[in-house]
Amino acid sequence: MREIDNRIIQKAKNGDKKSFEIIINTYRQTVIEICYRYLRNREESFDMAQEIFITVFNSLKNFEFKSKFSTWLYRICVNACINRYNKLKIEKYYEMDSLSKDNEDDKKEIDLKDPRQNQDEEMELVNLKENIFKCMHDFTTIEKSVVILRDFQGFEYKEISDILNLPIGSVKSKLFRAREKLKNRLKRILGEKNEL
């Protein structure tokens, strides 16, 4: 993870525009990616990232250099994304009249394409990734966050524990369960596809 010099952060804290721009340029890509992994919408993730940086700017006066700046920023990011995700989930629930969690609905929602049409390995992986996200749609926020931060973003366990404010052991156990869940779902999906 890239870290910014504390002097730059202090300047940004004092309202220096250039220093804050450096912060944005350093972290914006990661923030946008995290937002995209939660929201799965390009435009929304950009808007979300902008809102996150505005929140960061307004909350900078509360940052006391007790933790890593990146950890502090990602915590804001993850919390904002979780809130947004939950909100969207509720909205979607009311729009669709139901957002079921049972396996049958899972099967209906996942759009499966014939593997014979995607011979290319890369395309297959892209499809797999999409399937992964679809399988994750009813994960708990912690499970989803753990998978996104560890497997997609490659964060260290310590950092994830700081961001999510969870003990490292809990992070590991939750990640294990989430991976198993994901694997089983994917296995089932792929098995069904093969049967087709």
Partner 1 sequence: MNCKKAKKVMAELYENKKPEKDFFIHIKNCDKCKKEYELILKMKKAFLIRENLKVPSDFNKKIFEKIGFENKSRDFRIFEWMFQKQFAFAKVLVLILFFALILFSVKDQKDLNNYEKITIIDNLEEKNKTQITQKKEVIENREQVIAHIERKEIEQGKVADLKDTEEKSTTTQTQIQPYFSTARNSNLAQGGLQPTEKPASLFIAKSDDKPNENKTPEIGEMKEKFIVKKNVFNPLKNEKFMLKYKVDNKEEVVVKIFNRIGEPVNTLLNEEKQPGIYECVWDGKEANGKIVGAGIYIVYLKIGAFNEKIKVVVIK
Provide the residue type at 81 as one letter: C
For residue 28, what are its two tokens? 């914006």
Of 99 and 152, CB closest to partner 1: 152
Q: What is the smallest separation between the CB atom of 119 and partner 1, expressed in angstroms?
A: 15
DSSP-based three-state secondary structure for 25 = helix
Burial class of 133 by CB neighbour count within 10 A (0 to 12, 13 to 18, 19+): middle
How far is residue 26 from each of residues 8, 33, 108, 155, measured CA to CA in Å?
12, 13, 41, 16
107 versus 183: smaller Cβ distance to partner 1: 183
Q: How far is the CB of 75 from partner 1 (least distance, A)?
A: 19
3-state SS assignment for residue 76: helix
Binding site for partner 1 (CB under 8 A): 14-15, 17, 21, 24-25, 28-29, 32-33, 36, 42, 45-46, 49-50, 53-54, 57-58, 122, 124-126, 128-129, 132, 151-152, 176, 179-180, 182-183, 186-187, 190
Instruction: Kindly tell me which of 31 and 164 has the beta carbon lying closer to partner 1.
Output: 31
Name the residue nearer to partner 1 (CB basis): 14 or 170. Answer: 14
Grouping H, G, I as helix, E, B as strand and the rest as coil, residue 75 is helix
Residue whose C-alpha is closest to residue 78's, from 136, 108, 35, 42 = 35
Sign of the alpha-carbon dihedral angle for 67, 178, 49, 33: positive
Distance between CA atoms of residues 14 and 3, nearest Å: 19
In the complex, minimum distance from the CB of residue 110 to partner 1, in angstroms, rounded to a whole number: 15
Identity of the residue, 30 or 71, whose beta carbon is nearer to partner 1 in the bound complex: 30
Query: Considering beta carbons, is residue 91 or 124 the nearer one to partner 1?
Result: 124
Residue where the block lists tokens 């799965």:
40
Q: CB of 34: closest distance to partner 1 in angstroms?
A: 11
